[in-house]
A = this chain, B = another copy of it.
Amino acid sequence: MTWSLAFDLLGVFCFAISGSLLAVTRGYDLVGSVVLGSLTGLGGGVLRDLVLRITPTAFDRPAYMVPPLVAAALVFFMAPEVQRFPRTLLVFDAAGLGLFCTAGAVKALQFGMNPVAATLLGFTTAIGGGLLRDVCANRNPKLFDPRDIYALPALFGAGAMTALWHWGGGIGAQFLVALAVFAIRVLSLHFHWRIPLAAGERAQPRAS
């Protein structure tokens, strides 16, 4: 197994944990937990592969079903312990974000996409699974939560990885960028880093 595949499967596992944990808080059953975990872990990569016009890895390689199954089993047996730490979902989601924004950018570059496209596709890979998770569970996407920053670290990670790849960076660069994205995301959760609202500081959001 290459490092690249290991990172990818780890990313699937992290997002799958976040999906299975959401399934617990929603009161889903064990199969729903596997399905929501799989959607979360594999959705971003499927989107990326469809845009790249290759057979989605999640369907092509049976190994990609292992992380969601392990994740759902872990959550099933460990949920009471895990629930004492309500931010667990977000921490695993942050790890998946770092791993996927870099892996998605690298894969896009390997298939000949231009740097802007590779950055966008790394970003899409990273946010796709979590967006699908929240939309399918019928809740407001974490992606749009203004109380901390989510999209920005993923965009930064995809862009940084694209630049480093052009300068010859490989799996070591990916590890460092993924770690940086994870750290930024977790710190933003802890310190409530925020960016300006969509309406500028003068406007007040109004009920839709």
Chain A residues within 8 Å of B, Cβ to Cβ: 20, 22-33, 35-36, 46, 50-51, 53, 55-56, 58-60, 62, 65, 72, 75-77, 79-80, 83, 113-114, 116-117, 120-121, 127, 131, 135-141, 143-144, 146, 149, 151-152, 155, 194-200, 202-203, 205-208
Contacts and interface: CB of A to CB of B under 8 A. Distances in A.
Instruction: State the oligomeric state as a number of copies.
Output: 3
A184 B139 CA distance: 30
Contacts of A146: 27-29, 32
6 contacts: A30-B195, A53-B53, A58-B120, A75-B199, A76-B196, A80-B203
B121 A198 contact: no
Top-7 shortest CB links A-B: A33-B198, A79-B199, A27-B205, A62-B116, A79-B203, A29-B146, A25-B208
A17 to B, nearest CB: 12
A117 B59 CA distance: 5
A23 B144 CA distance: 9
